[in-house]
Amino acid sequence: MTPATHSSLFPQVPDSADAVLDGLDPEQREVATALHGPVCVLAGAGTGKTRAITHRIAYGVRAGILQPSSVLAVTFTNRAAGEMRGRLRQLGAQGVQARTFHSAALRQLQFFWPKAIGGSLPRIVDRKIQLVADAAAACRIRLDRGELRDVTGEIEWSKVTQTVPADYPPAAVKAGRESPRDPAEIAQIYSVYEDLKRDRGVIDFEDVLLLTVAVLQDRHDIADQVRAQYQHFVVDEYQDVSPLQQRLLELWLGGRDSLCVVGDASQTIYSFTGATPDHLLDFRTRHPGATVVKLVRDYRSTPQVVHLANGLLAQARGRAADHRLELVSQRPAGPEPVHTEYTDEPAEAEGAARRIRDLVAAGVPAAEIAVLFRTNSQSEIYEQALADAGVPYQLRGAERFFDRPEVRKAGVALRAAARFGGNDALLDDTVDLPSQVRAVLSGEGWTTEPPAGSGAVRERWESLAALVNLAQDVAAARPAATLADFVAELDERAGAQHAPTVQGVTLASLHSAKGLEWDVVFLVGVAEGMMPITYAKTDEQIEEERRLLYVGVTRARERLHLSWSLSRTPGGRPGRRPSRFLDGLRPGSTGTVGRGAGTGTGGVERGAGAGPVAAPRRTSRTPARCRVCGRTLTDAGEMKLMRCDDCPSDMDEGLYERLREWRADQARLSGQPAFCVFTDRTLMAIAENAPDDDRELARIPGVGMRKLSRYGADVLAICAGRQPGGAVEGD
């Protein structure tokens, strides 16, 4: 199990701002260098969005344009925020705040609560479901376990959409929600739930955002203090923003436009929580001068997987579908997706387990295989099938890794060994970090061979095995790492909820698989009634189910298996049929695929206020080639010059020196390093091309619209043999 855009441990920090841009494709470079004004990045699955935005922040910081402490990057999970912080450290951009919406809001609320309200912040309830149960009991309404969970979800939805209890019934009808109980009853429970919180002096997770919004709205002095601290904002997964989160973002901005948002409407799969892609889709309307960059080069999946993903969206309807991105795979060809029909669910689980066992035997790491399903209730049969086949597995989306009792105990043992290891007989024969960790964890139940079967014993072993494997990774990256270093690594990962990879097949729901990727993915239960799910009735709900399958498909790097069964149990009536979403895509099926590419081409669109001349849109997907010898260029510096470093240059040396002198003067006037005006490579490209007008100058990589409007007249004057201001040189 790996993050969607992973990197090696402890890479070398780039030695300059320009080096931060090395290796980015043209569209990613546009993102990284668009540091002013509103920017909207429409990023398809596997196109390197995290890479683009972290390099954008790092480039701005390393170039001296952005102060690290003034940048706030927000995303939706602790894991994603932790990964972003790690990448920024690797790029030499320490000090940038990367947090979830809730984490950032909680930090501000804790700091300003004494000043705004007085006293200390109320305790946050760990599990609101018990409080909802108490509220229902006070209303004399009996809820079974499923209803209790669903009513809790309705209360959460109401709060993130800023719906008060009295307004819940009409709001639920308007939103097309399937209320688990009579809407009036839910409104009553919701109202009493809020009363109980006040009586007990506690707040819930959603209150953190609501209270932060209230403080920033009511206390202009506090809002001004927050805005003075944070002046540049980056929002990842913007398609998942709720109305409440959008309101908080607007209050943080305070009318400013130094905002970069990143998202993909085709990956909107959390509308049941209040998330909506409307903020992403309306971004250009709210910010007419915005720069819009589309990332469509898919570096994750093979052309065969990408073709199926594009085919799924080609049949989609609705507003999100109108803005879909047609991906273009950058990987070599791979095997075609496999579609398999089974007689019943047990046969489907056993068939998947057999194929997985064969893949592992052929050398595919178990950690690079996933089984994805629509609902968590489908997990058990695959757990049993994998256990019967002798294949290790892990459950994703259950208990958080660092919260598991065996992991906490292991952490205590490792910390003690790091502190007092010299007196521990267990460590007498150890020679390196992995052997030390194995020795310590052997006392906690780890063995060289996994226990037979499934269940709690197997899960505990898998957790300890993950720590052993992490020790091997750390030692490989840092041979001199000590046990104390390893404990520090664990503490940092625990803070970011960045769990180590477990050497087992991942079992996960499609929702919890978002943001992850594997070499091999088994999408199981792809049948009508499960995909789309039975309770998806409206057109909007059906389309979200299609997007959910699209997310599942795009988790696969190389191999993709889709399967369904004709009945639930052996001997049952074979009344099921494959999902309608596969019509026209699976072998032997009929259906209409392809309604054109929509807005799928990659490139850049600049808003009305972006400058006097719009830079040409980079829609070509052909590789950059040397203009001298024709070789394909991959180095970022060579791409800027459009020639190999070894090929002869036709640069005007005199022009280059005049440009360097002018740049030095501009740097002194602005108080910035010279490369912030133009880099050496950009000056070389200008001297080689000697542009005659704005349009020719705008075509040179490194000359963005901001620099064109600021420096264009001077540069063109120098290229024409004039001094800035109109005099001819030598007069």
DSSP notation for 468-529:
HHHHHHHHHH-TT--HHHHHHHHHHHHHHT-PPPPSSEEEEETTTTTTEEEEEEEE---BTB
Q: Are 290 and 35 in contact (CB under 8 A)?
A: no
Q: What is the pLDDT of residues 231-258, one digit of tens each?
A: 999 999 999 898 899 999 999 999 888 9
Query: d(Cα 202, Cα 122) in Å, to the nearest integer?
Result: 5
Mean pLDDT of 426-440: 81
Considering Cα of 467, then 471, then 472, then 476, what sign does the dihedral take? positive
Of 313-322, 540-549, 636-645, the poorest mean pLDDT is in: 636-645
Is residue 331 within 8 Å of residue 302, measured between CB atoms?
yes
Structure token pair of residue 692: 């005659």
CA distances from 494 to 102, 253, 460, 469 (A): 17, 31, 18, 16
Q: Is the separation of the CB atoms in 584 and 362 below 8 Å?
A: no
Over the range 331-349, which residues count as b (16 or more CB within 10 Å of their CB) and which as e? beebeebebbbbebbbbbb
| Residue 609: predicted pLDDT | 47
The answer to whether residue 502 scores a pLDDT higher than 70 is: no
Distance CA 9, CA 7 (A): 7
Say what the pLDDT of residue 425 is: 63
Give CA separation, 520 vs 47, 365, 392, 470, in Å: 19, 10, 15, 22
Which range has the worst mean pLDDT, 338-347, 431-440, 586-595, 684-693?
586-595
Of 142-151, 377-386, 512-521, 620-629, where does the model show the most confidence?
512-521
- Evaluate if residue 617 carries a pLDDT over 60: no
The model's pLDDT over 295-352, given as tens digits with 9 standing for 90+, comes to 999 999 999 999 999 999 988 888 877 888 899 999 999 999 999 999 999 999 999 9
Residue 633 pLDDT greater than 60, yes or no: no
Residue 452 pLDDT class (50, 70, 90 cuts): low
CB 383, CB 454: distance < 8 Å: yes
Q: What is the mean pLDDT of the chain?
A: 84
| pLDDT for res 270 | 86
Q: In the prediction, which pLDDT does 636 show?
A: 55
Give the helix ranges, DSSP H, for 337-455: 345-361, 379-388, 405-420, 433-442
| CA dihedral over 509, 399, 568, 390, signed as positive or negative | positive
Alpha carbon distance 21, 28 (integer Å): 9
Query: Is the per-residue pLDDT at 456 higher than 70?
Result: no
The confidence band for 422, taking pLDDT boundaries of 50, 70 and 90, is low
690: DSSP letter:
-
> Among all chains, which residue has been given the structure tokens 């305790």?
123
Q: Mean pLDDT lowest for which of 55-59, 212-216, 567-571, 641-645?
A: 641-645
Backbone angles phi, psi at 40, to 5 degrees: -120, 120
- Strand duo 2-3 + 516-523: pairing: antiparallel
- The answer, yes or no, to whether residue 535 has pLDDT greater than 50, is yes
Choice between 639 and 661, residue whose per-residue pLDDT is larger = 661
Secondary element (H or E) of residue 108: helix 101-116
Per the omega criterion (within 30 degrees of 0), is the bond before 532 cis?
A: yes
Q: Please state, as a whole number, how many other Cβ atoms lie within 10 Å of the Cβ of residue 525.
A: 24
Looking at the chain, the whole-number percentage of residues with pLDDT higher than 70 is: 86
Instruction: Give the pLDDT confidence of 677-727 residue by residue, as tens digits.
Output: 888 788 888 988 888 888 888 888 778 777 888 888 899 999 888 887 654
Please say whether the beta carbons of 562 and 340 come within 8 A. yes
489 pLDDT higher than 70: yes
Q: What is the largest CA-CA distance in the chain?
A: 97
pTM of the model: 0.70
Label residue 510 by pLDDT band (50, 70, 90).
very high
* pLDDT at residue 593 greater than cutoff 70: no
When mean pLDDT is compared across 205-209, 212-216, 447-451, 723-727, the lowest value belongs to: 723-727
Give the pLDDT score at 405.
Answer: 82
How far, in Å, are 17, 144, 654, 715, 717 from residue 727 at the CA level? 34, 85, 18, 14, 9
